[in-house]
């Protein structure tokens, strides 16, 4: 349990599955008496299920609010904060986790709609959320306070064949995050990036349009990370004392080169 997280309000994007779901649960476990957690994604029913799981596991000391939100829709994101109940408005930690990969194709063959959805979710969506929530963090205290935790990827550091657009989106996340951290150095807002290697989630299923056989084949012969492995790093970073920024973490399964 981290005393530093007590009483905080946490917002997680992409909390309906995978890493986002695990991050929300790990925060709840860490500070079960006082946390408020806002779960967002497009699939509201899934979010309600995650909220129910959290309450079942840690009780109702943690307040959980599932909210449907598509991060790629700028107007939806802009009006989102104003619609929150007052006791969920003072957001301390934003976890920008929503993201996806679509298709596997060499660069000349990537479909325009797949390019659009990857950039509008992974890059513009993350920027939309940051622009919407950062002003709340800036108002807190004399020099602001809060954590913006962006989920990047090893794919933002090195390319792989068939993944050029996804890699480009995650490289954009990486440089955006780095620039933002430098812009905020004089404030008490911390900007943190966590870059996972291979994690077993719905990610591959989305990539292959729901084809489970193809998705499962991605993990054949290897032992990927679990979403909980990544969640532990995210929550650890948020729980450091305020002068400590775990700015940049790469987390791999042991087999991954």
Where does this chain bind ligand NDP (CB under 6 A)?
13-14, 16-20, 41-43, 46, 69-72, 97-100, 121, 125, 151, 153, 196, 198-199, 201-203, 206, 227
Q: Which of 166, 212, 214, 219 is catalytic?
A: 166
Q: Which two tokens stand for residue 152?
A: 């990047």
25 and 58 Cβ atoms separated by less than 8 Å = no
Least distance from ligand NDP to the Cβ atom of residue 83, Å: 16
> Could you tell me the CA-to-CA distances from 136 to 50, 57, 82 in Å, in that order?
26, 30, 11
- Please indicate whether residue 160 is annotated as part of the active site: no
> How many DSSP H helices and E strands does the chain contain?
9, 7
> Could you tell me the CA-to-CA distances from 238 to 36, 62, 157 in Å, in that order?
14, 17, 23
Q: Looking at 91-163, list the stretches that DSSP marks H as alpha helix, in order from N- to C-terminal side.
A: 112-118, 126-139
**Bridge partners of 94?**
11, 148
Report d(CA 11, CA 94) in Å as an integer: 5
Least distance from ligand NDP to the Cβ atom of residue 25, Å: 13
39 and 51 Cβ atoms separated by less than 8 Å = yes
Q: Looking at 140-247, list the stretches that DSSP marks H as alpha helix, in order from N- to C-terminal side.
A: 164-183, 203-207, 212-218, 227-238
Q: Which two tokens stand for residue 174?
A: 């990486």
- Please indicate whether residue 89 is annotated as part of the active site: no
Cβ proximity to ligand NDP: between 166 and 187 the closer is 166
Least distance from ligand NDP to the Cβ atom of residue 242, Å: 26
Cβ proximity to ligand NDP: between 24 and 187 the closer is 24
Cβ proximity to ligand NDP: between 9 and 21 the closer is 21
- Rg (C-alpha) for the chain, rounded Å, is 17
Report d(CA 130, CA 234) in Å as an integer: 17
Least distance from ligand NDP to the Cβ atom of residue 240, Å: 21
Least distance from ligand NDP to the Cβ atom of residue 21, Å: 7
Cβ proximity to ligand NDP: between 227 and 239 the closer is 227
Task: Give catalytic residues, as residue numbers.
Answer: 166, 170
């Amino acid at each position: 349990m981290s005393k530093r997280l007590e009483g905080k309000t946490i917002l997680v994007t992409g909390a309906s599955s995978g890493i986002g779901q695990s991050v929300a649960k790990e925060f709840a476990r860490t500070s079960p008496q006082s946390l408020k957690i806002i779960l967002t994604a497009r699939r509201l029913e899934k979010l309600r299920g995650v909220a129910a799981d959290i309450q079942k596991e840690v009780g109702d000391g943690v307040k959980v609010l599932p909210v449907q939100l598509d991060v790629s829709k700028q107007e939806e994101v802009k009006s989102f904060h104003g619609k929150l109940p007052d006791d969920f408005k003072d957001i301390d930690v934003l976890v920008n986790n929503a993201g996806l990969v679509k298709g596997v194709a060499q660069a000349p063959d990537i479909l325009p709609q797949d390019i659009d959805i990857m950039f509008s979710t992974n890059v513009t969506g993350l920027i939309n959320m940051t622009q919407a929530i950062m002003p709340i963090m800036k108002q807190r205290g004399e020099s602001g306070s809060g954590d913006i935790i962006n989920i990047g990827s090893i794919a933002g550091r090195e390319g792989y064949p068939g993944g050029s657009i996804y890699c480009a989106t995650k490289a954009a996340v990486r440089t955006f995050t780095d620039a933002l951290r430098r812009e905020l150095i004089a404030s008490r807002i911390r900007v943190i990036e966590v870059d996972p290697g291979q994690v077993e989630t719905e990610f591959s299923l989305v990539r292959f349009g729901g084809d489970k056989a193809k998705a499962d084949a991605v993990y054949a012969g290897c032992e990927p990370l679990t979403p909980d492995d990544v969640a532990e790093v995210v929550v650890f970073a948020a729980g450091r004392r305020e002068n400590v920024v775990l700015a940049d973490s790469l987390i791999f399964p042991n087999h991954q080169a």
